Amino acid sequence: MITRFDKLAIDLPHPRHTSPNDASAVQELIGGKFGEMSTWMNYSFQSFNFRGRAALRPFYDLVASIAAEEFGHVELVSYTVNLLLTGTSERNPDPTTTPLSATTNSRISYYYLATGQQTLPIDSQGTPWTGANVFSSGNLRLDMLHNFFLECGARANKIRVYETVDDPTARACVGYLLVRGGVHIVAYAKALEKLTGIEVGKLLPIPDISNDRFPEAAEHESRGLHQVLFQFSTEDYTRINEIWNGRHPSDNSELRVQEGMPEGFPPPDLEPEPQLTAPIGPDLDPSVDPDMFDDVAKRLFGREALDLRERMKARKK
Ligand code: MN
Ligand code: MN
């Protein structure tokens, strides 16, 4: 089971220049073949499917704890895309002015036609993410080899998105993910080393560009974030320390396991987009006309809902 915290892994800055096509480049990191949906679902299903757990507990703990971290990565990239989309159509509630006309050149039209300028589990071309991206062979060495490859492919995509988009929101997100993805590459390399005796770490980094060349990643590494694997639990998955130990292959620093999860920061509030009635249309804005809002709520939810609201208001006082 999962406990959820209303926090993001980093303090995500607001964009300097919003852009739907920048958002769609970042979108590859959510629903692309090598995106966060894929890492999250691959490790989740591999953990649900794990056979022989008693004998191989450290490997089970590894894949289960990283799965939990990947959920938060999907969330972080989603906020990045949503911030890059905020304000990209005209905030004019009059439909006759064609407030969405500026969006017809957006690579992904779902942002305006299917959502309220928000993300979906799709890739940079708008193709839905699919469970066909999940590999769970049941063979531990094969699954670890796949995961190592998946993280290396994910790293290549992150670097290319960084090279595509210069907005500070995107770069803060990608910089953080490069560091955490680097941790996962090394973790799966170490798992393969324990299983086979082969020094997989000697292959790294793949692709062979160090994180030092990405200032937003280097900043996290200067504080040692690349040395830490999170348990993502206070009680469970403790045996990841039997895999995550020794030295980091890039700077020879000492690796350590941290109980729980990263500290986290409040997620940014996403501004309303009234032309898309997201979250409600201008004619339902409660700050404009509270009586009208109550009237609509009564029609939608019945008298009981309004009574409950009144009781809750009274309790607050
Ligand atoms: Mn990730
Ligand atoms: Mn990862």
110-130 CB burial, b ≥16 within 10 A, e <16: bbbeebbbbbbbbbbebeebe
Q: Which ligand is nearest to the CA of 36?
A: 1
Cα 40 to averaged position of ligand 1 atoms, centre (Å): 7
Q: Which ligand is nearest to the CA of 62?
A: 2
The answer to whether residue 69 scores a pLDDT higher than 90 is yes
Cα 180 to averaged position of ligand 1 atoms, centre (Å): 7
**pLDDT tier at 285, thresholds 50, 70, 90:** low
CATH, range 20-276 = 1.20.1260.10
**pLDDT tier at 304, thresholds 50, 70, 90:** low
3-state DSSP of 147-199: HHHHHHHHHHHHHHHHHHCCCHHHHHHHHHHHHHHHHHHHHHHHHHHHHHCCC
Q: Which ligand is nearest to the CA of 184?
A: 2
Q: How much is the pLDDT for 298?
A: 72
**pLDDT tier at 310, thresholds 50, 70, 90:** low
Q: How much is the pLDDT for 293?
A: 61
* Chain segment 269-283, per-residue pLDDT in tens: 999 999 999 998 877
Cα 236 to averaged position of ligand 2 atoms, centre (Å): 19
Cα 108 to averaged position of ligand 1 atoms, centre (Å): 23
Cα 181 to averaged position of ligand 1 atoms, centre (Å): 6
CA 6 remoteness from chain centre: 13
Cα 147 to averaged position of ligand 2 atoms, centre (Å): 9
Cα 313 to averaged position of ligand 1 atoms, centre (Å): 42
Distance in angstroms (rounded) separating the CA atoms of residues 314 and 178: 49
* Higher per-residue confidence, 304 vs 174: 174
Cα 235 to averaged position of ligand 1 atoms, centre (Å): 23
Q: Which ligand is nearest to the CA of 177?
A: 1
Q: How much is the pLDDT for 169?
A: 98
Cα 92 to averaged position of ligand 1 atoms, centre (Å): 37
* Chain segment 213-241, per-residue pLDDT in tens: 999 999 999 999 999 999 999 999 999 99
**pLDDT tier at 307, thresholds 50, 70, 90:** low
- Taken in order 109, 115, 116, 117, the sign of the CA dihedral is negative
Q: How much is the pLDDT for 89?
A: 97
Cα 166 to averaged position of ligand 2 atoms, centre (Å): 22
Q: How much is the pLDDT for 283?
A: 75
Q: How much is the pLDDT for 224?
A: 97
Cα 312 to averaged position of ligand 1 atoms, centre (Å): 40
What is the rounded average pLDDT of the residues 98-119? Answer: 96
Strand partners, 53: none
Domain boundaries, the chain: 20-276, 286-316
Q: Which two tokens stand for residue 90?
A: 């005209």
Q: Apex CA 27: angle with CA 24 and CA 28, to 5°? A: 110
**pLDDT tier at 295, thresholds 50, 70, 90:** confident
The answer to whether residue 288 scores a pLDDT higher than 60 is no
Question: Tokens 């799966």 appear where?
Answer: 188
**pLDDT tier at 62, thresholds 50, 70, 90:** very high
Q: How much is the pLDDT for 313?
A: 61
Phi, psi dihedral angles at 88 (to 5 degrees): -85, -10
**pLDDT tier at 208, thresholds 50, 70, 90:** confident
Cα 157 to averaged position of ligand 1 atoms, centre (Å): 12
Cα 266 to averaged position of ligand 2 atoms, centre (Å): 22
Cα 102 to averaged position of ligand 1 atoms, centre (Å): 33
Contact at 8 Å (CB) between 167 and 84?
yes
